[in-house]
């Protein structure tokens, strides 16, 4: 116990991968990955979604074991069955999602699960003075001006991220893994974080740094290692790297996305949805765009760029601070989901489990959730009345459902997603927002969902399509807006651009 509190560092964490492979069912998430991460440096790890980065993180964090191959820390074989094993070997991971408990103090959060005990009045009690002293020592050593007694809930996101790193450092790691530590931070906070990372590097800790932001690499990293399709795609010194070179390593030879022939969109009339100067302080700013009948507008951007937030705000699910929304030529004051639905807007949310479906209700009920006013204008609903609407979506969207009266939770991800879409198509919308409609569905269902979107657009629906997978945005959309840090920074024509180019637009920092 006391050992954990004493601030001595192990130095020189040499981290080696030798033909590490992780297989899930038929697919290899990581295959034959071999590399040496030299001690005392900041190593950036890059790769697009599905490249195997998160698998690597999970192996190092002790969440999963590799199927084959070995990981070595300072020359010793390491198999992390649990996160505890990883800590023991000196490998500590700071995950992307913050894991602090807001209602507890900084000190208690740092030593959670291993609170120092002391014998007082004959009782075995938590040694609060000792705990805060140790925490204060740790914070001071890292150059952080934070009071260990402060509650985490009173800290900014940036400060919480720093406390998270302090907690990781309390395990005296020789290898520290930072998984997208800046994704939720403001520019100033990023700067502070980098100061801390450099300090840790000087103290000899080996740092693995995962990010999607290109400009950060050049500021903080010493080397950059790239994964592609689960394989090692190369590693270079940052002094020899350029953004173009890294993007090339990430994407390799990319084929142009295949799209069906789409009708020319008539943009001469007035747009069906027009957004001007939409702002939500600290989330997104000055967002303006138009969508026309039959058009599929893609919004590309990295996680946290503000794509979902803009759509939720237009739909009235979140408040807006400034700007106007014009739907069908009419201005909407302050939107609510109910009002926007009545005006002809539909929204399929990004996480169907939490926000899209009522899992305990049947497929039948979920297909009628949004459209009850439409199905039963008098307020009286019968199963027979709903039946037509339910059957139409089941057959139109090809939903595979043994019995519509069984809970929707029994369906596969792809079919659940189709139920979310069907629920909204039943409201006969003029504009639909598709937020990550392909997340967590199999390849075949993904194709079917894209076909549904194209088909609906052919019939006049204006659609906004958002996906983290840029390939999909490129494939599905007629026109793409690129968002970065809450702003629209570019508009591109998917037929005249490449995946690498789109990725570069999404990733580039504000200064470069």
Partner 1 sequence: MTAALTAKAGPNPAMRLIKTYPMELILTVLIVILIFTAPGFASLRNLLNVLRTGSMLGIIAFGMTAVIIAGEIDLSVGAGAALAGCIAAWFAGALDDSLGGLVAVLIGVVVALGVGFALGYSVGKFRHWFNVPSFICTLALFTALRGAANLITGGFPLATFPPGFDFFGGGYLFGIPFPVYIFALTFAGMHFLMNYTRFGRAVYAVGGNMEAARLSGIDIWWVKAMTLGLTGVMTALSGVLIASQIGSGTGTTATGMELDVIAAVIIGGTSLFGGKGRIWGTLIGVLFLGCISNGMTLLNVSEYWQYVVRGGIILGAVLLNQVLERVR
Question: What minimum distance in Å lies between the beta carbon of 434 and partner 1?
Answer: 14
Distance, in Å, from the CA atom of 462 to the CA atom of 242, rounded to the nearest integer, reads 39
In the bound state with partner 1, the residue whose beta carbon lies nearer, of 3 and 354, is 354
Q: 364 or 504: whose CB is closer to partner 1? A: 364
* Residue 386 beta carbon to partner 1: minimum distance, rounded to whole angstroms: 9
Do 132 and 160 touch, CB atoms closer than 8 A? no
- Give yes or no for a contact between 112 and 103, defined as CB atoms under 8 angstroms apart: no
Task: Please tell me what DSSP assigns to residue 356.
Answer: I
**For partner 1, the closer CB: 376 or 490:** 376
Q: Which residue number, 33 or 347, has a Cβ lying nearer to partner 1?
A: 347
> Closest CB to partner 1 among 347 and 454?
347
Residues 268-327, interacting with partner 1 (CB under 8 A) = 315, 317
Whether 356 and 315 have beta carbons less than 8 Å apart is answered as no
Q: Is 382 in the site for partner 1 (CB under 8 A)?
A: yes
| CB contact at 8 A, 350 and 439 | yes
Query: Of 2, 76, 125, 373, which lies in the binding site for partner 1, with binding defined by CB under 8 A?
Result: 373
- Note whether 380 binds partner 1 by CB under 8 A: yes
Q: Which is nearer to partner 1, 158 or 356 (CB)?
A: 356
Shortest spacing between CB 404 and partner 1, in angstroms: 13
Nearer to partner 1, 244 or 358 (CB): 358
Closer to partner 1 by Cβ: residue 14 or 361: 361
Q: Is 180 in the site for partner 1 (CB under 8 A)?
A: no
| Spatial separation of the C-alpha atoms in residues 223 and 103, rounded to whole Å | 38
Going by C-alpha positions, the residue among 261, 327, 326, 267 that lies closest to residue 294 is: 267
Return the number of other C-beta atoms located less than 10 Å from residue 439's C-beta.
Answer: 15
State the minimum distance, in angstroms, from the CB of residue 128 to partner 1.
Answer: 31
Question: What phi and psi, each to the nearest 5 degrees, are found at residue 321?
Answer: -95, -30
- How far apart (Å, rounded) are the C-alpha atoms in residues 63 and 60? 8
The encoded tokens of residue 153 equal 């809930």
Listed ranges 72-80, 211-219, 230-238, 374-382: which one lies at the site for partner 1 (CB under 8 A): 374-382
Tokens of 380: 């009286």
Is residue 381 close enough to count as binding partner 1 by CB under 8 A?
A: yes
Contacts of 447 (CB under 8 A, 6+ apart): none
Residue 52 contacts residue 34 (beta carbons within 8 Å): no
Name the residue among 311, 394, 391 with its Cα closest to residue 355: 311
Structure tokens at 183: 């994704």
Q: In whole angstroms, what is the distance from residue 418 CA to residue 406 CA?
A: 16
Minimum CB distance to partner 1, residue 259 (Å): 30
User: Is the Cβ of residue 136 or residue 361 nearer to partner 1 in the bound state?
Assistant: 361
Rank residues 147 and 403 by Cβ distance to partner 1 and give the closer one: 403
Among 6, 402, 496, 511, binds partner 1 (CB under 8 A): 402
Q: For residue 186, state whether it binds partner 1 (rule: CB under 8 A).
A: no
Contact between 184 and partner 1 (CB under 8 A)? no
410 counts as binding partner 1 under rule CB under 8 A: no
Q: How far is the CB of 360 from partner 1 (least distance, A)?
A: 4
Query: Which one of residues 372, 489, 490, 500 is an interface residue with partner 1 (CB under 8 A)?
Result: 372
Residue from 14, 369, 489, 490 in contact with partner 1 (CB under 8 A): 369
Tokens 């790193």 identify what position? Answer: 165
Nearer to partner 1 by Cβ, of 125 and 373: the residue is: 373
Q: How far is the CB of 376 from partner 1 (least distance, A)?
A: 6
For residue 503, state whether it binds partner 1 (rule: CB under 8 A). no
Q: Give the nearest distance from C-beta 382 to partner 1 in angstroms.
A: 6
- Identify the residue among 337, 398, 413, 440 touching partner 1 (CB under 8 A): 337
Length of the chain: 512
Q: Is the dihedral of CA 486, 472, 250, 413 positive or negative?
A: positive
Size, binding site for partner 1 by CB under 8 A: 31
Q: Is residue 84 exposed (0-12), middle (13-18) or buried (19+ Cβ within 10 Å)? A: exposed
Beta bridge partners of 416: none
- From residue 119, alpha-carbon distances to 3, 114, 125, 461 in Å are 17, 16, 6, 71
Considering only CA atoms, which of 289, 272, 97, 299 is closest in space to residue 183?
97
Q: Contact letters (x/-) for partner 1, 338-367, by CB under 8 A?
A: x-xxx----x-x----xxxxxxxx---x--
How far CA 354 is from CA of 53, 95, 137, 302, 423, in Å, comes to 26, 22, 41, 21, 15
The yes or no reply on residue 370 touching partner 1 (CB under 8 A) is yes
Q: Supply the minimum distance, in Å, between the C-beta of residue 347 and partner 1.
A: 6
Q: Which is nearer to partner 1, 66 or 356 (CB)?
A: 356
Instruction: Provide, rounded to whole angstroms, the least separation between the CB of residue 97 and partner 1.
Output: 19
For residue 463, give the 3-state DSSP assignment. strand
Which one, of 358, 354, 353, lies nearest residue 369 by Cα?
A: 358
**Closer by beta carbon to partner 1, 182 or else 371:** 371
Q: Which of 129, 184, 159, 146 is nearest to 309 (CA)?
A: 184
Where do contacts with partner 1 occur on this chain (CB under 8 A)? 315, 317, 337-338, 340-342, 347, 349, 354-361, 365, 368-370, 372-373, 376, 379-382, 402-403, 423
């Amino acid at each position: 116990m006391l050992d954990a509190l004493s601030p001595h560092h192990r130095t020189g964490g040499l981290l080696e991968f030798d033909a590490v492979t992780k297989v899930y069912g038929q697919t290899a998430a990581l295959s034959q990955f071999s590399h040496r991460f030299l001690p005392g440096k900041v190593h950036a790890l890059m790769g697009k979604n599905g490249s195997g980065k998160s698998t690597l993180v999970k192996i190092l964090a002790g969440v999963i074991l590799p199927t084959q191959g070995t990981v070595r820390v300072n020359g010793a074989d390491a198999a992390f069955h649990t996160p505890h094993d990883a800590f023991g070997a000196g490998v500590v991971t700071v995950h992307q999602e913050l894991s602090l408990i807001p209602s507890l103090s900084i000190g208690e959060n740092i030593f959670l699960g291993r609170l120092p005990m002391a014998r007082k009045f004959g009782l075995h009690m938590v040694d609060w003075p000792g705990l805060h002293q140790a925490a204060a020592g740790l914070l001071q050593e890292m150059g952080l001006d934070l009071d260990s007694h402060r509650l985490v809930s009173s800290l900014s996101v940036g400060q919480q991220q720093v406390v998270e790193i302090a907690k990781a450092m309390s395990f005296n790691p020789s290898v520290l893994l930072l998984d997208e530590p800046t994704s939720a931070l403001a520019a100033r906070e990023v700067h502070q974080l980098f100061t801390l990372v450099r300090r840790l590097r000087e103290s000899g800790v080996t740092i693995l740094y995962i990010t999607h932001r290109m400009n950060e690499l050049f500021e903080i990293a010493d080397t950059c290692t790239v994964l592609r399709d689960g394989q090692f795609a190369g590693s270079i010194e940052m002094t020899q790297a350029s953004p173009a070179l890294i993007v090339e390593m990430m994407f390799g030879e990319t084929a142009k996305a295949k799209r069906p022939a789409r009708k020319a969109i008539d943009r001469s009339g007035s747009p069906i949805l027009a957004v001007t100067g939409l702002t939500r302080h600290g989330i997104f700013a000055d967002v303006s765009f138009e969508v026309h009948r039959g058009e599929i507008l893609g919004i590309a951007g990295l996680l946290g760029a503000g794509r979902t937030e803009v759509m939720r705000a237009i739909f009235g699910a979140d408040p807006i601070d400034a700007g106007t929304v014009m739907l069908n030529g009419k201005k909407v004051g302050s939107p609510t989901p109910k009002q926007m639905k009545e005006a002809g807007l539909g929204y399929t949310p990004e996480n169907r489990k939490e926000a899209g479906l009522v899992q305990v209700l049947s497929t039948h009920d979920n297909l009628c959730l949004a459209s009850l006013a439409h199905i039963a204008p008098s307020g009286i609903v019968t199963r027979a009345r709903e039946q037509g609407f339910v059957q139409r979506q089941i057959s139109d969207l090809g939903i595979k459902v043994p019995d519509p009266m069984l809970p929707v939770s029994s369906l596969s991800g792809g079919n659940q997603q189709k139920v979310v879409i069907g629920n909204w198509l039943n409201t006969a919308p003029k504009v639909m927002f598709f937020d990550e409609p392909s997340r967590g569905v199999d390849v075949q269902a993904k194709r079917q969902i894209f076909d549904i979107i194209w088909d609906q657009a052919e019939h006049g629906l204006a659609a906004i399509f958002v996906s983290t997978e840029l390939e999909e945005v490129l494939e599905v959309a007629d026109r793409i807006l690129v968002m970065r840090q809450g702003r629209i920074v570019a508009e591109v024509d998917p037929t005249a651009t490449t995946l690498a180019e789109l990725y570069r637009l999404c990733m580039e920092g504000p200064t470069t």
